[in-house]
Amino acid sequence: MKTKVERTKKGFPAMWEAGGGMTNTGYATIIAGPDGKRKKPVYIRRKGHLSCENHALFIVEVGDLVIETGHHRLDFETSVYRIEAIDGDEARLQLLYDFSQGQWDVEPPASIMEAVEAAEKKATIYHCRYPVYYVE
C-alpha cells in the first residue's frame, strides 16, 4: 500500500497523527517508532479547525509503524503497517497485523499494543482536537 508523505521545510519526510470520534464512528492514524514507542513531533497544530483533523507532525523513517483504525459503534478495524520505503512524496507500507471482527489475523507483539490502544482511544475521543501518542 502507498500513502502520502509530507515534507518538512528542511525536506524530511513526515506524517500526521490525525483523527477523532463522531457520535457513532471514528478513525485515527498513529505514528510510532519501529518498536511501537512514542516519537517526538516536529510540530503540533494548536490553531484553526482541529476537530478530527491533523494534530501532530512526525518525521518518519523506514521501519516506523503507522497504525490506522476506524470504528462503528466501537466495532474496531485496525491495521498496523511498517514503512518499507519512502520515495519522494509517497511511503510504501507493508501490512503487519490486521484486526477485524474481534480478532487479529496474527497476534501482534505486546510492545506495540500501547500504540494500538492509543489509536483506538483517539478514534473514540469526540471531536478530538489534540495529539494522543507522542513524547513531549
Q: Provide the residue ranges of all domains of the chain, joining segments of one domain with +.
A: 2-124
Which band of pLDDT confidence, cut at 50, 70 and 90, is reported for residue 1? confident
- Secondary structure (3-state) at 60: coil
Please determine, for residue 136, whether its predicted confidence score (pLDDT) is greater than 90: no
Percentage of the chain surpassing pLDDT 90? Answer: 98
- The mean predicted confidence, pLDDT, of the chain is 96
pLDDT of residue 76: 97
d(CA 21, CA 127) in angstroms, rounded, equals: 5
pTM comes to 0.94
Which band of pLDDT confidence, cut at 50, 70 and 90, is reported for residue 106? very high
**CA distances in angstroms from 87 to 40, 72, 90, 109, 114, listed in the order given:** 23, 33, 5, 28, 29
Please determine, for residue 29, whether its predicted confidence score (pLDDT) is greater than 90: yes
Q: What is the pLDDT of residues 51-93, one digit of tens each?
A: 999 999 999 999 999 999 999 999 999 999 999 999 989 999 9
At 102, which amino acid appears?
G
pLDDT of residue 120: 97
Architecture of domain 2-124: Sandwich (2.60)
